Every structure is written in C-alpha cells, then in structure tokens.
C-alpha cells in the first residue's frame, strides 16, 4: 500500500511538471518526493517529453516495486503466482493477471485486495499459463492448471492482512540506541514511521512485550478491525475496508533503491553487476539473522559495518562510537521482532497466563483472526 501511494504521488508530480512546461513553453524541473522521502527530480520539456536522468532510487516509470531485493515486482498477486510457479512448479491461469497482461487487448483490473493493475502505466507480470495453448508445465507432472484462482485470491488477501512484526522488551539502553540510530544517520534511509492514507486491510494486530498477559515469549497481541458491512442482498453482508489513515510504526525503510558499495553488489550469471537494492525494512530485524539481501552477514554488527557507498558516512559514524553506544543501537534493533502467531496470546484468544500446561493451545493462546469475522449465529470460532 505504501509503495502504491508513493507511486501515485511521484506520477502526479510528473504530470504536473509536464503541464507546467507546456503552459510556460520552457523546461520545468520538479523535486520528486513522497512521504518525506526524496526520489531525485524530474524535468519536463514543453513538447511533453520527460527527462528522468535525475530520478533516484526508482525506475524511470516511477513505479515503486518493493518485492525482491532489487525491487522487481509491485503486486502481491503477481509475486504469489510467480512464487507458486518458480519455487513449486505450480501453475495458475489467474484471470486477473492474464487480463491485465494480455499481449493484445489488455484491460485495467482491480484485484480482490484492491490493487489497480493498469497495463497502460505498468508492466504487469504475465502468469505462466493463461490459455490451453500455453502448455507450460513447470514440474513435468502433466497437470497445467494447478492453483485455482480462488486460492490466489485468498493468498493475496492473507498476505495483505498478515501480522506486522512486533516490539520486544525495551529498556533505557534500547531507547538510547533508538536515538543513536538517528544520530549516526541510519534513519536517513531506514525511515522509522510512514503513513498509509488509505489502508486496504480489514484488520490490524499490535504485538508488544507484555509480561502480565503474554505467555510464550511474554508477548501479547491486540487485534482490531478496520472494515464495515454492506448489505448486498446476499445471506451475509459484504465486508468493506474502511480505507482509513494508518501510521505504520517501526517499518524503517524508504521504499527506494540505494548503492551500498561493492560489499553488497551482486554478480549475475552473465558477469554484470546489480549495484542497487531496496532499503531493507528493519521491523523484525532482531529475529531474522543472517543479514543482507544475500544472507552473508552473520549478525547485526557485521551487516552495519558492511555498508558503504551511499551509507559510507553512517557506517563510519557507527564505527566511531564506543562499544557501549554501539551495543545500545544493537539492543534497540533486537527489540524489532517477528513472532509465532499461533503461540502468541491475544485479545482474540488470551489463553491462561497462570497455566502449567503451556504446550496446550487452549492454554497458551493465539492470534485467531477468524474470530473477528465470525458470524454470531454460527457459534464461536
């Protein structure tokens, strides 16, 4: 959602630059920025052409693509269909992606999760199979249509609404480390909080360290809904996202590419180098070792010291700190955690904090989002 809103902002600036240039009869350059993040600048000519030479961190089409380390895909749906095929040999003739990516007669599609796919403005990834004539069979089992589009709908919805990372135990040291992260310059790219203007999710889960109510890992989650029901004449009302403003806390990214120096560069099979990669979000970083897009850094200290290129100054500022201050930064980063939702007590299933049977699901609690959508007449989830 953030990437999509940033894309819309950048493209609106591009359109405005063209309008101003055509009206004035002179070239017009405007800064490209969204949500407090700079993407360079764009220059429009009076004849309507665009100069993207000073665009930074995003492709010339101004589409922010947050998926894959180098920023290759923007659609959760296309990412999922591609992963089913490339990683599992399972093909899906997804009608949404097929219609939006058709070689002839491609049409605008809106996915069930609310993402607009417009072939006139974006490259839409084509599924591995769209018709019987496309007889690709990745796993050689003689079966082509292996993933029903309904499952793709569910996967897209599931990933859009999946639990965001949580916050572990904090201390005075970790709070000082949070401030030092800003002082040394890390938050120039790892931006802590970003605002979604129209949240397309139907629920949010806030997970924090809570020794009184938490059981496993002393974490407790609070789930809340963000949808409303609309009577469409069916047996049950349609659930529509509220699309309200939402502050995404502790994400620590800027949704753009950077060159972090040769220690991060990656050589392709043809010998060329990939030199720019998306800023890795730091939420969850305390529990996701090893580090770097390639997993070559064994701990947080090493991946920080591996930085160069555009992050050279921040790397040197970190290295110049005393050991105690460096450890404070690491202490803070280790509070940004992932967690097992099936084993985390929540307001949906709080479990029993005094239990002597922590292995029993009824005792340790869980984040059971299904309870948010349960129809009362059908009983408890």
**Residues 174, 323 within the same domain:** yes
pLDDT bin (cut points 50, 70, 90) of residue 139 is low
**Residue 129: what pLDDT?**
83
pLDDT bin (cut points 50, 70, 90) of residue 376 is low
**Residue 132: what pLDDT?**
58
**Residues 126, 183 within the same domain:** no
Average pLDDT for the chain: 94
**Residues 27, 86 within the same domain:** no
Q: Please indicate, yes or no, if residue 86 is contained in any of the structural domains.
A: yes
Supply the pTM of this predicted model: 0.94
**Residues 313, 209 within the same domain:** yes
Looking only at the bridges linking them, the beta strands covering 219-225 and 345-346 are parallel
Q: Please indicate, yes or no, if residue 31 is contained in any of the structural domains.
A: yes
**Residues 133, 221 within the same domain:** no
**Residues 265, 328 within the same domain:** yes
**Residue 254: what pLDDT?**
98
pLDDT bin (cut points 50, 70, 90) of residue 370 is confident
**Residues 25, 107 within the same domain:** no
pLDDT bin (cut points 50, 70, 90) of residue 126 is very high
**Residues 190, 153 within the same domain:** no
Report the share of the chain in percent with pLDDT over 90: 84
> What's the whole-number mean pLDDT along residues 23-50?
98
Which residue range(s) make up the domain with 33? 2-51
pLDDT bin (cut points 50, 70, 90) of residue 380 is low
What's the rounded Cα separation, in Å, for the pair 46 and 60? Answer: 19
**Residue 238: what pLDDT?**
85
What CATH number has the domain bearing residue 322?
A: 1.10.760
> What's the whole-number mean pLDDT along residues 109-137?
86
Q: Please indicate, yes or no, if residue 361 is contained in any of the structural domains.
A: no
Q: Please indicate, yes or no, if residue 366 is contained in any of the structural domains.
A: no
Q: Please indicate, yes or no, if residue 95 is contained in any of the structural domains.
A: yes
Q: Which of 128, 160, 192 is the last residue of a domain?
A: 160
**Residue 187: what pLDDT?**
98
Structural domain count, the chain: 3
pLDDT in tens, 294-350: 999 999 999 999 999 999 999 999 999 999 999 999 999 999 999 999 999 999 999
What's the rounded Cα separation, in Å, for the pair 218 and 236? Answer: 37
* φ and ψ of 154, to 5 deg: -65, -40
**Residue 98: what pLDDT?**
95
Q: Please indicate, yes or no, if residue 59 is contained in any of the structural domains.
A: no
Residue 39 and residue 54 in contact, taking contact as beta carbons nearer than 8 Å: no
**Residues 191, 303 within the same domain:** yes
pLDDT in tens, 172-202: 999 999 999 999 999 999 999 999 999 999 9
* CA atoms within 13 Å, Cβ hemisphere of 136: 15
**Residues 264, 199 within the same domain:** yes
**Residue 144: what pLDDT?**
74
> What's the whole-number mean pLDDT along residues 265-269?
94
Q: Please indicate, yes or no, if residue 349 is contained in any of the structural domains.
A: no
pLDDT bin (cut points 50, 70, 90) of residue 209 is very high
**Residues 146, 179 within the same domain:** no
Whether residue 36 is predicted with pLDDT greater than 90 in this model: the reply is yes
**Residue 325: what pLDDT?**
98
**Residues 33, 138 within the same domain:** no
Whether residue 135 is predicted with pLDDT greater than 60 in this model: the reply is no
* Least confidently predicted of 89-103, 140-154, 204-218: 140-154
What's the rounded Cα separation, in Å, for the pair 354 and 347? Answer: 16
**Residue 138: what pLDDT?**
59
Q: Please indicate, yes or no, if residue 13 is contained in any of the structural domains.
A: yes
């Amino acid at each position: 959602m953030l990437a999509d809103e940033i894309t819309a902002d950048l493209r609106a600036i591009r359109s405005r630059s063209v309008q101003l240039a055509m009206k004035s009869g002179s070239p017009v350059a405007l800064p490209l920025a969204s949500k407090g993040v700079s993407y360079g600048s764009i220059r429009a000519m009076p004849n309507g052409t665009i100069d993207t030479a000073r665009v930074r961190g995003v492709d010339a089409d101004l589409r922010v693509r947050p998926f894959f380390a180098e920023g290759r895909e923007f659609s959760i749906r296309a990412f999922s269909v591609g992963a089913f095929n490339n990683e599992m040999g399972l093909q899906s003739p997804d009608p949404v992606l097929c219609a939006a990516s058709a070689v002839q007669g491609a049409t605008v599609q809106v996915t069930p999760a609310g993402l607009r796919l417009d072939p006139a403005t974006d490259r839409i990834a084509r599924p591995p199979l769209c018709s019987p004539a496309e007889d690709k069979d990745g796993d050689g089992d003689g079966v082509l249509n292996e993933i029903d589009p309904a499952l793709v709908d569910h996967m897209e919805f599931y990933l859009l609404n999946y639990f965001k990372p949580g916050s572990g135990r904090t201390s005075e040291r970790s709070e000082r480390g949070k401030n030092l992260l800003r002082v040394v310059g890390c938050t120039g790219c790892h931006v802590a909080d970003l605002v979604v203007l129209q949240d397309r999710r139907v629920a949010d889960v806030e997970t924090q360290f809570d020794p009184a109510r938490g059981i496993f890992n002393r974490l407790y989650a609070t789930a809340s809904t963000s949808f409303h029901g609309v009577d469409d004449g069916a047996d049950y009302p349609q659930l529509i996202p509220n699309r309200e403003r939402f502050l995404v806390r502790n994400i620590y990214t800027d949704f753009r590419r950077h060159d972090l120096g040769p220690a991060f560069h990656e050589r392709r099979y043809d010998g060329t180098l990939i030199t720019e990669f998306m800023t890795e979000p730091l939420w969850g970083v305390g529990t996701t070792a090893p580090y770097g897009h390639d997993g070559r850094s064994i701990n947080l200290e090493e991946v920080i010291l591996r930085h160069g290129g555009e992050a050279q100054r921040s790397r040197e500022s970190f290295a110049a700190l005393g050991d105690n201050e460096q450890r404070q930064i690491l202490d803070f980063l280790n509070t940004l955690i992932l967690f097992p939702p099936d084993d985390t007590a929540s307001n949906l299933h709080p479990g029993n904090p005094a239990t002597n049977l922590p292995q029993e699901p009824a005792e340790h609690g869980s984040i059971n989002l299904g309870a948010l959508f349960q129809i009362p007449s059908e009983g408890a989830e």
